[in-house]
Amino acid sequence: MEVTRSALWLGTMLLLVLAEAGWRLASRRGYDGGATFTTLWLVLGNIPFAALNAGVVGSVFMAAARLTPLDWPVNHWGTWAVGFIAVEFAYYWFHRASHRVRWMWATHSVHHSAEQFTLLASLRLGWTNLFSAGWLVYLPLVLLGLPPFVLAALLTLNLRYQFFLHTEAVGRLGPFEWLFNTPTHHRLHHASNHAYIDKNYGGVLILFDRLFGTLAHEQSSEAIRYGLAHRPSTANPVWLVCREWAIMLAEARRARGLRAKVTALVAVP
């Protein structure tokens, strides 16, 4: 059953990627073939790292679940409803930290490297999630009693929903945008313009951006530019994965004094 669901999901993704490519070509927006190959190499290279990450993090979460006296019933709807909001809240802070803490940005920057905003670009993910340790943001949820299975399922839902956000083919969605994250919101999140940087961190919901003051809207006077600010584009997937780590660690090595070295590792990128 799991294999069938995975095949169906992959087939759906492929059909939508092809449809979007056709739309971009027909509307003369172009489709960057070189960037496509870079993304595919990033996906292939990420497979062993994702397996390692799942094994280590899953073991930590299972150990935490055995330690806590709290236990939410997996088969109760309330666990899933409250868990959904809790995971969205944690994801918001994980995502915000991934932009504001350089150690975490070293991994997350790979996702922002595409200079065309397409569905396929959603698959650009760094290979170093285990080492950037953003998963620690979710550990308190397990210690509060959220079952690791529920956490994993809700995070999977969150990430699969976000696949649909990475496109220019979908316009404004009216009242839906007040509560939910949409392609309109997420296009701006991927912008490298100074006016738009570090906004719209939500996963499925845009609610916490509204609550914490990080919601922004596109301005008619400033068209969105994609890609990484202050970094030249590159088609080399290994360099994309390693570049921010290399620059950050080199700066930390040159810094004088412990405080300066720590600052080089954790300051705002």
CB burial of 26-45 (b: ≥16 within 10 Å; e: otherwise) equals: eeeeeebeebbebbebbeeb
Number of domain units in the chain: 1
- φ, ψ (nearest 5 deg) of residue 200: 55, 65
**β-sheet bridge partners, residue 180:** 205
Express each pLDDT in 120-175 by its tens digit: 999 999 999 999 999 999 999 999 999 999 999 999 999 999 999 999 999 999 99
Express each pLDDT in 126-138 by its tens digit: 999 999 999 999 9
pTM of the predicted protein model: 0.95
C-alpha 191: how far from chain center: 14
Residue numbers of the domain that contains 92? 3-266
Look at residues 247, 185, 190 and name the one whose alpha carbon lies nearest to residue 217: 185
In the block, which residue shows the tokens 């845009």? 206
Alpha carbons within 13 angstroms on the beta-carbon side of residue 19 total 11
